[in-house]
Structure 1
């Protein structure tokens, strides 16, 4: 593969802008959005890191696969397929969406996976970097590891990216619905009575996956993001569609396939759908 010089980021939300603001320091970055402007955009980053970056912004319908050496897809899970319809996989594509609904799609299309652990929110072209983490990427197709320039973004290659995605799913399936329904920041999930619900969800999750995800991992995410408001909570507060169909709904299908009876997860799914409908 040719050296990485040009990076395309599909999704001009908080995560996409965060990645663009860091990567623009070393690479030529193009930011694609559904309603993206055609021209330069200045991103201001505040919070645990700060800085400004100027990147090219284009609407997604102008995406040309030959204009980048690698793509990161940072859209909401329910927008992934539409956002990647112009890509063939000839250029590496890393889908960094929440949940597991996109796994079969990624494998079918020859795409790769990524998990973003940073905390970030957006207000226009200003993003608040609320928590340091990593961008963990890996291949479903056996491609050679990619190496990116060192930066606080900390892009690391994972040999078992599926396990990383399952870990993130455990955290999302526990933290997101509880915080969204209780309207509390992430840290409250570690305290009673939210913790009791968290443990009940965790118990059901462990019955659905062969991979082992210790609860200490969930506790570490809760602690690191204690002051954050989850994406599902922010979606409900803003009256936007949530990622319930990417995070919780696939778990119901998995339980049915495995013949596992669930109680808490189906209830959380119905409550989130109800809460979204009332917005």
Structure 2
């Protein structure tokens, strides 16, 4: 089975390294320089040890979507370029798996005529150290569900994936993405602003009060049916990933754009439609936006 991995950030490198153990993998990079280095050195994966995976790397401009499954690992704010590329292809791909945070990308996917569209959420922690090295510092699973189309190719992929890098099929993509959105909306902005690891949010009683207040606003906007259970799940994620640094924190530290628009921005838009006041959520959103690129307007 041929698998394309579009994007060679931390998640793209992580997926390409593990999936190359069972599949014929091609990774598509933003620059020709990164593709050249991956082809020369392979992908160095650091977990409990070190392994090198040799894959084919090509610049994104050469992606035609001809693999049996293409996995889109770029950040949500980079999706417009991906979707524009797909719409310009002579023949649209058959099977695409999108792995983005938030839920704002669902509307974008409606524009695609791709027969089989899948979406997923990632529980792994990863850090890209250079153009071809990735550190796997948080083990979990990848949840995937059908957004539209036939699940046969998805099950074929899941059944062949490496056991040490598991994929879990979910019946309802809405529930899967909502659960991830709630966790991201609480944990990511708080850890990014406070510059702390996930576990600090529940170990520090004052941070925990802020976490609870933020969750209360989010639960009201999303009209959660079982808010207490959802809160306990968020707290448990903080506990089980206590030493993890959130992706939003790492993005700010690296002076990159964050996915705040796809996460808090999505919830804030819903709150505005409901004419609901969410002062804490709104404040955190603007603080993160202010930290991006020193508060200057950026072109996405």
- Please say whether Structure 1 and Structure 2 have the same fold, judged by a TM-score greater than 0.5: yes
* Cα distance, 1:250 vs structure 2: 1.4
Q: In structure 1, how many angstroms separate the alpha carbons of the residues matched to 2:293 and 2:6?
A: 28
Q: In structure 2, how many angstroms separate the alpha carbons of the residues matched to 1:186 and 1:167?
A: 17
Which of 75, 95, 100 is 2:98 aligned to? 95
Which residue in the other structure is 2:15 paired with? 19
Which residue in the other structure is 2:191 paired with? 179
User: Size of the alignment, in residue pairs?
Assistant: 274
Instruction: Tell me, yes or no, if the aligned pair for 1:6 and 1:29 is still in contact at 8 Å.
Output: yes
Q: Please say which of residues 49-58 and 160-169 is displaced more in the overlay.
A: 49-58
Which residue in the other structure is 2:122 paired with? 116
* Cα distance, 1:238 vs structure 2: 1.4
Instruction: Tell me, yes or no, if the aligned pair for 1:175 and 1:230 is still in contact at 8 Å.
Output: yes
User: Secondary structure, in 3 states, of the residue corresponding to 2:54?
Assistant: strand
Which residue in the other structure is 1:65 paired with? 65
Q: In structure 1, how many angstroms separate the alpha carbons of the residues matched to 2:293 and 2:147?
A: 36
Q: In structure 2, how many angstroms separate the alpha carbons of the residues matched to 1:115 and 1:207?
A: 23
Instruction: Tell me, yes or no, if the aligned pair for 2:222 and 2:267 is still in contact at 8 Å.
Output: no
Which runs of no fewer than 5 residues in structure 2 stay unpaired?
296-300
Instruction: Tell me, yes or no, if the aligned pair for 1:187 and 1:222 is still in contact at 8 Å.
Output: yes
Which of 196, 199, 219 is 1:206 aligned to? 219
After the TM superposition, which segments of 4 or more aligned residues of structure 1 sit over 3 Å from their partners?
A: 210-213
User: Secondary structure, in 3 states, of the residue corresponding to 1:193?
Assistant: helix
- Relative to 1, partners in 2 of residues 1:49 and 1:91: Cα closer, same or farther, differing over 3 Å? farther
Q: Deviations over 1:118-171 (max 9, x none)?
A: 011111122111111111111121422522224222112111112111111111
Q: In structure 1, how many angstroms separate the alpha carbons of the residues matched to 2:83 and 2:17?
A: 22
* Cα distance, 1:85 vs structure 2: 2.6
Which residue in the other structure is 1:37 paired with? 35
* Cα distance, 1:260 vs structure 2: 2.2
Instruction: Tell me, yes or no, if the aligned pair for 1:97 and 1:115 is still in contact at 8 Å.
Output: yes
Q: What is the TM-score with the length of structure 2 in the denominator?
A: 0.86
* Cα distance, 1:277 vs structure 2: 3.9
Q: How do 1:221-232 residues align onto structure 2 when only pairs under 5 Å count?
A: 221-232=237-248
- Relative to 1, partners in 2 of residues 1:108 and 1:207: Cα closer, same or farther, differing over 3 Å? farther
* Cα distance, 1:48 vs structure 2: 4.4
